[in-house]
């Protein structure tokens, strides 16, 4: 099923009609913003556009199609396969992953129970984020992560929206699949927010390699320990570490002889050193490679690669 079809099948009849008329490259479509009583917005190639009822991209918001309550209700029915109750856990986290790996973010009235988020009701805001798989983007850094049969503990540092998850996904795929020079190894992925594999009904929608096992929607710290106990991975990959328990679990993984590849929010290695929880990762030289991404030349731009001593390996 092509991207256009994957998106059309989760939209309400009216929105489907509008989107199907759009004459755009669906590979460049990154977001659809559906907000009740507000104009219908799409984001293409990083630029926001209003959409008219006739399926035209326009700049005047007064001529844009205004989202109705029925559009939201119907879209939610299709997104959840007519079974919202079955997605209770996902909704609690604020998103549902649909076929194709696209992520549907939800907002509305949050229902609390004993101080914990129980659900979201009266969903009035939907953000459909298209899944972007960039196969091959990890090839550039792979020689710095893998040296013959050795894989180094690697930390990818990047500000939000610079493509760290995309890069991690591709590195996982390359390590898992292997090539003519390097044999593939078992990789365990703890996909807490379902972004790496983007599993839909347990099946990863993104290509994450033939030797990859995914623990979907599982807290990182617990997931890493579970994978070690059950799947004997050579490499464990996690996205967006940050909590103290994540750091403890990473130390445990490294002590078990597994290699660790992780991502973290940050601008530079120095920035990580200034964060109380993450400082340990750099100061104790837990990671041996640091890949820093930046937005300077657009998302996915690899700025530099360092080793644990701070030597620049690539810039």
Taking CB under 8 A as the criterion, the residue among 19, 29, 41, 91 binding other proteins is: 91
φ, ψ for residue 190 (rounded to 5)?
Answer: -100, 105
| Segment near other proteins (CB under 8 A); pick from 80-88, 143-151, 256-264, 269-277 | 80-88
Output the six-digit token pair for 276: 């109380």
How many other β-carbons are positioned within 10 Å of the β-carbon of residue 258? 22
Shortest gap between Cβ of 39 and other proteins (angstroms)?
24
| Segment near other proteins (CB under 8 A); pick from 8-16, 124-132, 229-237, 250-258 | 8-16
Torsion of CA 16, 17, 20, 23, to 10 degrees: -130
Interface with other proteins includes 30 (CB under 8 A)?
Answer: no
Label residue 226 left, alpha or beta by phi (over 0 means left) and psi (-120 to 50 means alpha).
alpha
Interface with other proteins includes 207 (CB under 8 A)?
Answer: no
Best CA proximity match to 111, nearest among 92, 126, 127: 92
| Segment near other proteins (CB under 8 A); pick from 55-63, 74-82, 126-134, 286-294 | 74-82
Interface with other proteins includes 113 (CB under 8 A)?
Answer: no
Output the six-digit token pair for 64: 């844009």
Q: At what angle do helices 69-79 and 13-21 cross, to 10 degrees?
A: 90
Interface with other proteins includes 121 (CB under 8 A)?
Answer: yes
Residue placing its CB nearer to other proteins in the complex, 202 or 276? 202
Residues near other proteins, by CB under 8 A: 8-9, 13, 73-74, 77-78, 80-86, 88, 91, 119, 121
């Amino acid at each position: 099923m092509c991207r256009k079809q994957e998106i059309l099948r989760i939209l309400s009849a009216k929105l489907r009609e509008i989107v199907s008329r759009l004459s755009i490259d669906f590979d460049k479509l990154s977001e659809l913003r559906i907000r009740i009583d507000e104009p219908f917005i799409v984001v293409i190639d990083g630029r926001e556009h209003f959409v008219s009822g006739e399926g035209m991209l326009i700049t005047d918001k007064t001529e844009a199609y205004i989202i109705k309550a029925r559009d939201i209700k119907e879209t939610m029915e299709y997104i959840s396969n007519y079974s919202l109750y079955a997605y209770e856990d996902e909704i609690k986290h604020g998103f549902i992953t649909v076929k194709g790996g696209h992520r549907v973010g939800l907002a509305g009235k949050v229902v609390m129970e004993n101080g914990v988020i129980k659900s979201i009701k009266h969903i009035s805001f939907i953000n459909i984020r298209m899944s972007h798989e960039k196969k091959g983007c990890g090839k550039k850094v792979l020689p710095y992560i893998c040296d013959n049969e050795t894989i180094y503990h690697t930390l990818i540092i990047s500000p939000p929206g610079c493509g760290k998850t995309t890069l991690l996904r591709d590195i996982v795929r390359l390590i898992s699949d292997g090539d003519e020079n390097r044999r593939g190894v078992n990789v365990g992925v703890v996909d807490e927010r379902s972004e790496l594999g983007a599993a839909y009904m347990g099946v990863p929608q993104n290509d994450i390699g033939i030797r990859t096992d995914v623990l979907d929607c599982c807290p990182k710290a617990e997931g890493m320990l579970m994978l070690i106990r059950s799947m004997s991975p050579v490499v464990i990959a996690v996205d967006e570490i940050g909590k103290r328990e994540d750091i403890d679990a990473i130390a445990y993984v490294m002590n078990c002889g597994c290699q660790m590849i992780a991502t973290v929010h940050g601008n530079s290695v120095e920035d990580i050193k200034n964060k109380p929880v993450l400082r340990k990762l750099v100061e104790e030289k837990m990671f041996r490679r640091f890949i820093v991404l930046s937005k300077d030349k657009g998302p996915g731009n690899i700025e530099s690669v360092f080793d644990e001593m701070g030597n620049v390996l690539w810039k």
